[in-house]
Amino acid sequence: MEPESLWVKVIKSIHSNQRKVEAIPFKKSLTGVWKNIGDIEKDFIKNSININTSLRSKVRIGDKTLFCGIQFPNLYQLANKKRASVLENYRILNGGRLWEWAWLSALSSTEDKQQIDNLMERLQHQVLPQNNDVWVWKNFEQQEFSVRNVKLSLGQNLDLNLPPNMFTWNNWATSKSVAFVWRAIEEKVPTAVALTGRCMNLPDVLCKTCGATEETAQHILIECNFAKRVWEAITDWLKIPMVNTERTVAEWLSELLDLQRIRKIRKVIHAVVIEAMWILWKTRNEKVFSGRQGVLQTVIEEVKEASFQEGLKQRSKYGAISRSEWWDFNLSM
């Protein structure tokens, strides 16, 4: 999935029967299923599923549905509370609903009055059940929203022959390192092989560090002899098994999250490895553009320092961990 951003989004769509605007609660402050769905909206779009039109509120008493005027723009502009729910715009009187709004100013123009007349006429024909609003998914309107229905929709659009993207975003690693590894997994970083694929004419596509084989992201980050020496030192420091060079970058990162360690330690290890991959790439660039060969001990120290100072201390709540604890990787979490 792509990088998270701080955003608050209200999705407004017209209900197919009741023509009321729904607000899906995608807010930064919320947790759980709504935030998760909001975070992967672009991935849904890639698979031809538009959350805006697929996830709907079935209006009953109107407690979970906003009542705004997409079809009545004049009324919306005049409304004193533009994010009022349907429930806030009526009161029960003698067993019926009395619709009422607070306006910023009087409805004065002919168009204003025509819109309120049209709105009231529509509302008089609506029968709202006396129970709470529910969320439903497109093509499953007779059922309350469930993850199963979303999976069924995705299954109809996904090409199951394509390998899954197994990369997990880790907010304890620096943003630049995470973004780099995310792109490297897809071979979208400018290695020699990738550049020739973009019609660039290069003298050769061999790895500039070892010269043993073609330079791909997979080779630079795992298979290169220099990378193997780095991983021997890093995995020894982290007290984890040495990387299996027959694994892809994505597979190895995924395996790290399944290590027999407590969850917080697994996340730390995952973040360190992501940071190390970014530093391996920077070391490669120094060789390509400046002719400076990477020094093993320098790279190891940079990995430890960057993952400690720019990662763990700044991005987690474990900033009290001492340098000696970190250098020995003896963490109390």
The pair phi, psi for residue 295, each rounded to 5°, is: -105, 125
Q: What is the pLDDT of residues 123-182, one digit of tens each?
A: 777 777 788 888 888 888 788 877 777 777 776 665 555 455 568 889 999 999 999 999
Q: Which two tokens stand for residue 164?
A: 């899954």
Residues 182 and 44 in one domain: no
Same domain, 258 and 289: yes
Could you tell me whether strands 9-14 and 90-93 are parallel, antiparallel, or unpaired per DSSP bridges? unpaired
Taking the whole predicted model, whether its pTM rises above 0.85 is answered as no
DSSP 3-state of 66: strand
- At residue 13, the 3 state secondary structure works out as strand
Portion of the chain with pLDDT greater than 70, in percent:
81
Query: Domain tally for the chain?
Result: 2
Helix or strand or coil: residue 330?
coil
Query: Does 170 map to a domain?
Result: no
Give yes or no: residues 142 and 191 share one domain: no
Q: Is 32 within a domain?
A: yes
Assess whether 79 and 210 both reside in one domain: no
Q: What are phi and psi of 330, to 5 degrees?
A: -120, 80
* Inside any domain, residue 162: no
Given a contact cutoff of 8 angstroms between Cβ atoms, the answer to whether 22 and 66 are in contact is yes
Q: Does some domain include residue 37? A: yes
Quote the CA–CA distance of 49 and 158 in Å, as a whole number.
10
Last residue of a domain, one of 130, 157, 184: 157
- 116 within domain boundaries: yes
Regarding whether 91 and 135 lie in a shared domain, the answer is: yes
What is the per-residue pLDDT across 68-86, written as a single tens digit (0 to 9) for each?
A: 666 778 888 888 887 788 8
Question: Does residue 146 sit in the same domain as residue 207?
Answer: no
Phi/psi-derived region of residue 286, left when phi > 0, alpha when psi is between -120 and 50, beta in every other case: alpha
Task: Choose between 293 and 94: higher pLDDT.
Answer: 293
Looking at residue 83, the DSSP 8-state letter turns out to be T
Whether 165 is in a domain gets the answer no
Do residues 84 and 164 lie in contact, with contact meaning Cβ atoms separated by under 8 Å? no
Calculate the CA 201 to chain-centre distance: 36
Domain-located, residue 199: yes
Query: Is 283 in the same domain as 221?
Result: yes
Q: Contact, 81 vs 102, CB < 8 A?
A: yes
Of 129, 157, 185, which residue constitutes the final position of a domain? 157
Whether residues 32 and 137 share a domain: the answer is yes
Residue 25 token pair:
């609660």
Residues 30 and 142 in one domain: yes
180 with 295, same domain: the answer is yes
What pLDDT shows up at residue 328?
94
Q: In angstroms, rounded to a whole number, what is the distance separating the alpha carbons of residues 231 and 101?
A: 66
Kindly report the average pLDDT of the chain as a whole number: 81
**Domain assignment of residue 206, given as a range:** 175-327
Task: Answer whether residue 23 shows pLDDT above 60.
Answer: no
The answer as to whether 31 is a domain residue is: yes
Burial 243-277 (b: 16+ CB within 10 A, else e): beeeebbbebbbbbeeeebeeebbbbbbbbbbbbb
Please report the beta strands in 222-299, taking only residues with DSSP state E, as ranges in sequence order: none
| Domain boundary residue, one of 101, 128, 157 | 157
CB 229 within 8 A of CB 144: no
